[in-house]
Structure 1
Amino acid sequence: MTDVTPFIEQPPPARAAAVIPAAGLGLRLGPGAPKALRPLGGTPMLVHAVRAMARARAIALVVVVAPAEQVALVRSLLDEHPPPPAVEQLVVAGGATRQESVRLGLAALPEEIEVVLVHDAARPLVPVGTVDAVAAAVRAGAPAVVPALPVTDTVKSVAATAASGDPEPVVATPDRSLLRAVQTPQGFDRATLLAAHRANTADQATDDAGLVEQLGVPVVLVPGHEEAFKVTRPLDLLLAEAVLARRRTTDDF
């Protein structure tokens, strides 16, 4: 008798969306336009960040959270650089803080979105493979996933000082083999991320994974990428220009 394995229809992959908070000014980059709108290779950094999300196989929707007074400008800018046909993009007004802006981006998501990636607009050159790796880990069952790199510098813990610029007393030297520098996009089960934001409205975490940690929910790391660095200061912008020029030369962009 021939064995016949019954066909079991697999459920479709959970739909994923990316939320990009881009309402900050980025003052450390110097005077001028908001950081997300600074040009990189002749194109605003925000456009590069949206492209990185939209090119990932996992992403069906990109939500950009823009400064409230610049929603129309950002929407027009992104219309000039449309995503692939299978990807939708949406622009909504942000809040006074990054955490508030992420909450507003989450509120704009359709109900069927189950996986959410939160990505910094100031990380315009994150490789597509990193985006897909984060989304895949969430789809495989991890409630919170963060790309990260080993820390290569020795790190010191210091005591608080009375005034900025004063000598800082060192109190400890953490074992750097146990430290990681985290990046974005950070990926989450949508319900978990919503619960984390509802539980903490005080804007006390520096990233969304930190909010999830406060719930007691496990966060796991996947390998990050050296080109997913954050453009914060003028030197970072020069490095980003060099990376972009190299990608264009090697047809990697």
Structure 2
Amino acid sequence: MTPQPPRVQTTANPPIPGGFAVVVVAAGSGTRLGQGIPKALVRVGDRTILEHCLTGITTSGVTADDGDWDEGPVVVTVPAGDTGLTDVARSQGAVAVTGGADRADSVRNALEHLRALGCRPRGVLVHDAARCLAPTEVFARVARALVDGQEAVIPVLPVVDTIRAVDGTGACQGVVDRSGLRAVQTPQGFDWDLLLAVNDAAADHPEVSVTDDASLVEKFSDRTVHTVAGDDAALKITRPLDLVLAEALLARTLNRTEPRP
């Protein structure tokens, strides 16, 4: 197995609750990244995006004490016909399942796999593989919120850019008040039964399109989605510039954790 670089974790914080299942969404083609391979196989430093992601999940401790499941509590969704990501997942102790036509279908396939195992995790975290450098503190905040009784939790950041509304012709319609706006990240955390229920409901309404799992909770349940603080390091690698930023962030993190002479 490839040696795993150290990751930053604040030891002053209380221990991160374990017993969670994690669904890693990694079935994207990565067309906008322009590397000609599935995004999660692209390398950041000397390791693939998926390797970084799975290392972060393991280091966070959210899957610790996972009981007597026959398979690991981390399920990775991969493109149909994939072998490369499947091999990476297995090497890191995760299970790979074929994703669907869109994100919601992919997550549903992963949940069906977990349901077939007969497991009842403490909760489920759904994480984008492309946010492969998400710090352990973000996992901790989401996990603790679920343990404290919240049923749907998302990490968010304040919106710092000026946002303008435009019409169909491109004409400006004024500045949008950004004080109540937040940019959403992952991992997103959910009560196990709630996430199963909203995904089952969504399967009966294929006309409903969503971009994250919290939207399913809002559309197909009466539960409230709560927020915790995200982190700039949990950027999503989508475009070539994002890859440059991730490389720089990784280099800075390694430089801070390497022993000094």
TM-score by length of 2: 0.82
Aligned structure 1 segments of 4 or more residues deviating by more than 3 angstroms:
none
Residues 65 and 91 in structure 1, CA contact (< 8 A), matched pair in contact too = yes
**Residue of 128, 140, 144 corresponding to 1:132:** 140
Identify the residue that residue 45 of structure 2 maps to in structure 1. Answer: 41
Distance 1:19 1:97 in 2: 15
Show structure 2 runs of 5+ residues with no match: 1-16, 65-72
Superposed CA deviations along residues 94-120 of structure 1, whole A, max 9, x for unmatched, are: 112111000001111142213000000
Identify the residue that residue 246 of structure 1 maps to in structure 2. Answer: 252
Residue 183 (1) aligns with residue 182 (2): no
Superposed CA deviations along residues 28-47 of structure 1, whole A, max 9, x for unmatched, are: 11141111110110211011
Distance 1:57 1:79 in 2: 18
TM-score by length of 1: 0.85
Q: Which residue identity is paired with 1:64? A: V
Distance 2:165 2:198 in 1: 28
Identify the residue that residue 158 of structure 1 maps to in structure 2. Answer: 166
Distance 1:64 1:129 in 2: 22
Superposed CA deviations along residues 133-176 of structure 1, whole A, max 9, x for unmatched, are: 10111121111000001000111222234xxxxxx122343211
Distance 2:136 2:164 in 1: 33
Q: Which residue identity is paired with 1:43? A: R
Distance 1:171 1:105 in 2: 42
Residues 50 and 88 in structure 2, CA contact (< 8 A), matched pair in contact too = no
**Residue of 117, 120, 131 corresponding to 1:123:** 131
Show structure 1 runs of 5+ residues with no match: 1-12, 83-87, 162-167
Superposed CA deviations along residues 165-210 of structure 1, whole A, max 9, x for unmatched, are: xxx1223432111111010000000111111112223251111001
Identify the residue that residue 234 of structure 1 maps to in structure 2. Answer: 240
> What secondary structure, in the 3-state scheme, does the structure 2 residue paired with 1:19 have?
strand
**Residue of 91, 96, 100 corresponding to 1:91:** 96
Mapping 1:101-112, distance limit 5 Å:
101-109=106-114, 110=117, 111-112=119-120
Q: Give the percent of matched residue pairs that are identical in Structure 1 and Structure 2.
A: 44
Q: CA deviation at 1:14?
A: 7.1
Output the aligned Cα RMSD.
1.7
Distance 2:213 2:173 in 1: 28
Residue 207 (1) aligns with residue 212 (2): yes
**Residue of 100, 116, 122 corresponding to 1:114:** 122
> What secondary structure, in the 3-state scheme, does the structure 2 residue paired with 1:108 have?
helix
Residue 20 (1) aligns with residue 24 (2): yes
**Larger-gyration structure (1/2):** 1
